[in-house]
Amino acid sequence: MSPLKVVASSLRVGVLQFPGSNCDADCVDALRRHFQIEAVLVWHQETKLPKLDAVIIPGGFSFGDYLRSGALAAHAPVMQEVKKFAEKGGAVLGICNGFQILVESKILPGMLLHNLSQTFICKTVHLKDPAGNILTMPMAHGEGRFYVDKKALEVLNEEGLIAYQYCDLKGDVNEASNPNGAAANIAGLYSRNKKVLGMMPHPERATDVAMGGSKDGLVVLRNFIDRI
Amino acid sequence: MQASSKKRLRPATAETEGQSTFRQGRLKGKYTHETESDPVEYEVLVQLKSEVLDPEGRAIQEVLKLQGVTGVTAVTVAKRYLVTLEAGCKNPDATIQDVAARYLANPVAQVFQVKQLFP
C-alpha cells in the first residue's frame, strides 16, 4: 500500500508524554493527518495504559536528559506498563529520545552513548533498510552512538534485527556515512519479534515536502503500522 | 526512621578536610560529626568500560599532547555522584550498591565504584 494513501483506520495509538517530550504533537499529527489514526496522549505517571493497539515514545529531552538520556524516563510508571505491553507482543515505536528510553528500559538491547564528536548533531541523513531501500530524514541528537559489545552485535546481525543503518546517497554503509560513531552504523533496531522498533532519526519530521523535502518518514510509519 | 541521637561534633582535621566538602559546606566548614545514627554519604564514580571508546577522554589527551605535556598515557572521564542516605538506613552499603547498579550506571557500557565519604 502506498504510504501516501490516506486510509481510514480503527487503530488507536498512544503517544507517551514525559516532562521534556517535544515531538509528541508531531507524532499525533502525522498519524492523524496521513493515516487517519486516532492518537491519544498518555502522561508518564499513568499506571495503566488505555486500550491501545500501539505505543509511540516520541523524541525530546525527557527529564532534561539528566543522568543519561532516557534513563530517568525508563523508570516512570507508564514505562512499566509499556514493558508489559511489549512483552505481550504490543507494537512500540521509540523515536530518538524514545529509542534511548527503550534501551534504558531494557526493552531493546544496547546503550546510546554521546556522539563520537561530543556534539549535538542536527542534519539530514540517509538510512538503509534490510531490503536495500534508501530513506532520507533528519536526525537531531547528542547521544545517539549505539553501542553493544561484539558478541551482542553478532546476534543482532544474525537475527536480522538491525532495522536501519546510516548510509550515503548511494546506499553505502561506511565510516564516512556514520554521523555519530554508532556500532555497525546502526540507526534503528527491532526487538526479536519485530514488534518494537527504536530509531534515532525522526520519521515524523519527514512526512511532508514542506518539512524539508522528504516524505520518507511516512514509509517508516507505514511499515510500523503494518506490523501492529 | 528513628530520631537522630545527640551528635558528637568534632573539628575538621587536615585529614578529613576535603574528603567531604559537601557535608562540611552544610556545616559551614567548621565541623564534621559522626555517630551511628548519622546520615551516610557516598561517592559513586561512573565511567565507560575500558573497551568502550571514550571520545572526551581521548580529546583531552590529544590536546595535552599538542600543548607539549609529555607522559600522559591515558585520560578517562568519569561522572561523580554524591549520595547521602538518611540516618538509620538499615543497610546503607547494599542500598548504595543497588542505586548505583540500577540507576546511576548502565552496565551495558559503564562500570562504577562506590566509596563511603562520611562518616
Query: Interface pTM (ipTM) of the complex?
Result: 0.86
- pLDDT-derived band at A61 (thresholds 50, 70, 90) equals very high
Contact B103 A110 (CB under 8 A): no
Least confident range from A196-205, B14-23, B87-96: namely B14-23
How far apart, in Å, do the first and last CA atoms of chain B sit? 18
Mean pLDDT of chain A: 95
In this structure, is residue B21 part of a structural domain?
A: no
CATH of the domain at B50: 3.30.1280.10
> pLDDT per residue over B19-59, tens digit each?
444 444 344 333 444 455 789 999 999 999 999 999 999 99
In this structure, is residue B56 part of a structural domain?
A: yes
Residue A90: is its pLDDT beyond 90?
yes
Q: How far apart are CA B73 and CA A165, in angstroms?
A: 34
Question: Quick one: which H or E segment has residue A152?
Answer: helix A150-158
Provide the CATH topology of domain A12-226: Rossmann fold (3.40.50)
Residue of chain A whose alpha carbon sits nearest to that of B81: A67
Q: Looking at beta carbons, which residues of chain B come within 8 Å of A148?
A: 108
Q: How far apart are CA B38 and CA B86, in angstroms?
A: 7
- Tell me what pLDDT residue B91 has: 93
User: What is the domain count for chain B?
Assistant: 1
- Tell me what pLDDT residue B37 has: 74
Residue B14: is its pLDDT beyond 80?
no
Identify residue B76 by its one-letter amino acid code: T
- CA distance, residue B107 to nearest chain A CA (Å): 9
Residue A10: is its pLDDT beyond 90?
no
Which among A67, A104, A118 is the nearest to B59, CB-wise? Answer: A118
B 54-113 residues inside an 8 A Cβ radius of A: 55-56, 59, 103-104, 106, 108-110
Mean pLDDT over A142-165 rounds to 98
Pairing of strands A111-113, A145-147: antiparallel
Where along chain A do its domains lie? Answer: 12-226
Contact B108 A109 (CB under 8 A): yes
Return the beta strands (E) in A37-185 as ranges: 38-43, 54-57, 91-95, 111-113, 121-128, 134-141, 145-147, 162-167
Q: Which range marks the domain in which residue B78 is found?
A: 39-118
In this structure, is residue B95 part of a structural domain?
A: yes
- Tell me what pLDDT residue B10 has: 44
Residue B2: is its pLDDT beyond 50?
no
Q: Provide the 10 A C-beta neighbour count for residue A16.
A: 29
In this structure, is residue B43 part of a structural domain?
A: yes
In this structure, is residue B23 part of a structural domain?
A: no
- pLDDT-derived band at A7 (thresholds 50, 70, 90) equals low
CA distances from residue A91 to A23, A167, A221, B28 in whole angstroms, order as listed: 19, 26, 12, 55
Residue A50: is its pLDDT beyond 90?
yes
Contact A147 B108 (CB under 8 A): yes
A 100-129 residues inside an 8 A Cβ radius of B: 103-104, 109-111, 113-114, 116-118
In this structure, is residue B33 part of a structural domain?
A: no
- Tell me what pLDDT residue B36 has: 57
Which residues of A are designated catalytic?
96, 202, 204
In this structure, is residue B98 part of a structural domain?
A: yes
Q: Looking at beta carbons, which residues of chain B come within 8 Å of A71?
A: 103, 106
The b/e string for A154-193 (b: 16+ C-beta within 10 A; e otherwise) is eebeeeebbbbbbbeeeeebeeebbbbbbbebbbbbbbee
- Tell me what pLDDT residue A212 has: 78
In this structure, is residue B11 part of a structural domain?
A: no
